[in-house]
Amino acid sequence: MTQDTRPPAVILAGGLSRRMGRDKAELILGTTPLALRVADRLRPQTSAVYLNASEGHPLAARLPLLQDTRPDRPGPLAGVLAGVKLFAELPGGPTHILTTPCDNPFLPCDLVRRLQDGVRGDAIMLAACNGRNHPITALWPVTLAEDLDRWLDDPDHRRVFDFVARHPNETVEFASFEGPFGPVDPFFNINTPEDLAMAEAIIEQGTV
């Protein structure tokens, strides 16, 4: 039997969604909740897809739930920690995990392959488009678990870029695609009702 070298993925859905005013993971895009649409993009590329969200989340019946290991909700790094910690403790587990937010439904179909192709040792592999890094859509070595856990002990340590800067990291550039109103970053985040309307227009265009 050939070993599956694809990493597991963790969809981060633990944020408060203040600009949207409701849980973004459950927003309907087309006919599908947003987090499930992201999961559909990731399943062919990964060994498993988990949802990082609180206990009792409505989508937990559709995706295996991975809860934060810290009670203080210290932002997206808490979801990264939950993922690397789980798999670092698993004998014979993967060397890396992929994370991505629940609100970017147009992830490239070659996202994982290209990030994996760029891996050098324990570098964090970041996705980017047009020179803009997207540090939450990244491939993380599970060996970072202990350092990230200690880092989050400090309440001033919440910025993803600050933690990434502590470690070797590489960026993989992805191309934009043509949307109904011009080029679209494939890591486009849905943060507002206007963004959701834009995403609906992209879906209706039928090119992704």
68 annotated to a ligand binding site: yes
The answer to whether the beta carbons of residues 75 and 157 sit under 8 Å apart is no
117 annotated to a ligand binding site: no
85 annotated to a ligand binding site: no
What is Dmax (Cα atoms) for the chain?
48
24 annotated to a ligand binding site: yes
3-state secondary structure of 207: coil
Helices and strands (DSSP H and E) totals, the chain? 6, 10
Residues 6 or more apart in contact with residue 53 via CB below 8 angstroms: 13, 14, 25, 59, 60, 65, 67
206 annotated to a ligand binding site: no
Binding site residue list: 12-14, 24, 52, 68, 103
Give the annotated binding-site residues for GTP.
Answer: 12-14, 24, 52, 68, 103
Q: List, as residue ranges, the binding site for Mg(2+).
A: 103
